[in-house]
């Protein structure tokens, strides 16, 4: 006879006392175990069902909100809690900023465990709605049904355009209105979906891998330019008719691409992009620098707050105009070109070759002559020979991906003994880990959290390090 599976605990009254990574709240169970819960607010008292239990912690779901936190507000979007795009709409923006600041502080205290001379208050966004310049949506022949519609007569067989909810690769939340991207984003999504239905084009069935319409991506810049990329399953006589109908209905589109995605997955940036209409690029302005953005370019998705972030980097860098600067993980060279007029020269290094091509084109566009760009893995390029060729840097700016810097790169920075480092991070936990390693030779002068993505758990953190 098999062992009976033990039931997970149920907590009648659990107070949420703090925040954790990825937007979760946390409380302490009577047995001392830390309990993590999604979509709660600090100060909530809930009944909670544990769904996953480990020795030191548990994950639970709310069964009843017994006492709401003072931080709670009514979510403004009808799709909140379903599409998975905005995790913090149920708390005020002021509370969101407190939560994010707390996450950065906790990372520095629990992971870095090194002295930090100044922890600065978080910088929030002026615009908390319609702040993204890029969004991607999926077509699906299966609509995601909310909990109240499951086991009713409502069918999920419907052609819809929107986001995949977490864990549902074959269904899509049909979006009536999304607050993430400014118009004409909603008009484009709804209008293109309507055109496809009128033309009888089948939406993609991700489980059966059949259909025609797959994805659509919009880039909308502050300069009024609009790029649309449409992904379809194959190229045939239906495609020109569809593309022309979209342009007829939306003359606001300045560049229109299509790509053929006949793969099993939705990722389209490894596919050839075919230009159907327009110049093939859109432009964005960040302060004094103008950027040309292609269909595959990486660019900060919150243009207005990107300027705030880069102004902070300039402030931390405290350049005099005589410095030799290295910009590691430079992407398309946004920070490189934003700060270069305050430095003698800037060297940018980025692993993705197409990003370096974009960086060089943008430098030419802005008539910048004191920037040099190199494509390759930072840990391989940044060696003794490179340092000899380009000179010892007076300042290093590093903006690594979420995983942070490799141990090899950290060791190279320690060996280079650059007087100052400005470390920009989208993951306070890995930044804190790297700061602990760099503390071998560097003092952490200040850390500044920046909110780039309101109503989500994502946080940017900028640290200034000085050589002892």
Catalytic site positions: 426
> Would you call 53 helix, strand, or coil by DSSP?
strand
Q: For tokens 């980025």, what's the residue?
A: 350
Q: What DSSP designation does 277 have?
A: E
What is the three-class DSSP state of 130? coil
Q: Which residues contact 58 (CB under 8 A, 6 or more apart)?
A: 8, 9, 29, 33, 34, 35, 36, 50, 52
Residue 301 per-residue DSSP state: S
Residue 205 and residue 233 in contact, taking contact as beta carbons nearer than 8 Å: no
**How many angstroms separate the CA atoms of 22 and 40, rounded?**
12
- Residue 368 CA, chain-centre distance (Å), reads 28
Query: Sign of the CA dihedral 366, 370, 375, 378?
Result: negative
Going by the DSSP 8-state scheme, the letter that residue 340 receives in this structure is G
First to last CA, the chain: 66
Rounded Cα gap, residues 181 and 300, in angstroms:
13
How far apart are alpha carbons 61 and 46 in whole angstroms? 9
Q: Which two tokens stand for residue 31?
A: 């047995």
List beta partners, residue 291.
Answer: 284
**Euclidean distance between CA atoms 267 and 364, whole angstroms:** 30
Distance (Å, rounded) from C-alpha 381 to C-alpha 436?
A: 24
User: Distance of CA 382 to CAs 356, 378, 424, 463, Å?
Assistant: 16, 6, 18, 21
Compute φ and ψ for 47, nearest 5 degrees: -95, 140
Tokens coding 33: 């175990």
Q: Which two tokens stand for residue 146?
A: 């909310």
The Cα 182–Cα 128 span in angstroms is 11
Angle at CA of residue 428, ends 346 and 37, nearest 5°:
155
Q: Where are the alpha helices (DSSP H) in 29-136?
A: 93-107
């Amino acid at each position: 006879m098999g062992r009976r599976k033990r039931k997970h605990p149920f907590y009648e009254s659990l107070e949420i006392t703090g925040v954790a990574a990825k937007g979760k709240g946390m409380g302490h169970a009577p047995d001392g175990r830390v309990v993590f819960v999604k979509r709660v607010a600090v100060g909530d008292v809930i009944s909670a069902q544990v769904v996953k239990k480990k020795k030191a912690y548990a994950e639970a779901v709310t069964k009843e909100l017994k006492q709401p936190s003072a931080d709670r507000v009514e979510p403004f979007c009808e799709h909140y809690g379903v599409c998975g795009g905005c995790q913090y709409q149920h708390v005020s923006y002021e509370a969101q900023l407190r939560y994010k600041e707390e996450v950065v502080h906790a990372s520095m205290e629990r992971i870095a465990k090194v002295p930090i001379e100044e922890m600065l208050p978080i910088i929030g966004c002026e615009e908390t709605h319609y702040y993204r310049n890029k969004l991607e949506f999926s077509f699906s022949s299966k609509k995601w049904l909310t909990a109240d519609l499951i086991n009713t007569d409502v069918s999920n067989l419907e052609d819809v355009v929107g986001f995949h909810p977490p864990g549902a690769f074959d269904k899509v939340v049909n979006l009536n209105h999304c607050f993430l991207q400014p118009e004409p984003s909603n008009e484009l999504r709804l209008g293109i979906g309507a055109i496809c239905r009128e033309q009888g084009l089948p939406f993609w069935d991700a489980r059966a891998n059949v259909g025609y319409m797959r994805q659509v991506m919009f880039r909308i810049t502050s300069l009024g330019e609009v790029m649309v990329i449409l992904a379809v399953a194959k190229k045939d006589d239906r495609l020109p008719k569809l593309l022309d109908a979209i342009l007829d209905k939306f003359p606001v589109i300045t560049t229109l691409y299509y790509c053929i995605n006949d793969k099993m997955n939705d990722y389209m940036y490894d596919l050839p992009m075919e230009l159907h209409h327009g110049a093939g690029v859109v432009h964005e302005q960040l302060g004094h620098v103008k950027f040309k953005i292609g269909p595959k370019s990486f660019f900060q998705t919150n243009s207005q707050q990107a300027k705030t972030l880069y102004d902070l980097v300039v402030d931390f860098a405290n350049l005099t105009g005589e410095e030799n600067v290295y910009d590691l993980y430079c992407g398309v060279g946004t920070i490189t070109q934003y700060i270069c007029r305050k430095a003698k020269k800037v060297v940018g290094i980025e692993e993705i070759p197409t990003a370096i091509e974009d960086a060089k084109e943008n430098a030419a566009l802005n008539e910048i002559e004191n920037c040099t760009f190199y494509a390759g893995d930072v840990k391989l390029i940044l060696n003794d020979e490179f340092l000899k060729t380009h000179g010892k840097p007076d300042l290093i700016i590093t903006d690594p991906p979420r995983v942070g810097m490799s141990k090899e790169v950290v060791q190279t920075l320690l060996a280079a003994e650059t007087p100052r480092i400005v470390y920009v991070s989208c993951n306070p936990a890995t930044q804190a880990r790297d700061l602990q390693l760099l503390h071998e030779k560097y003092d952490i002068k200040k850390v500044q959290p920046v909110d780039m993505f309101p109503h989500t758990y994502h946080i940017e953190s900028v640290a200034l390090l000085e050589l002892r």
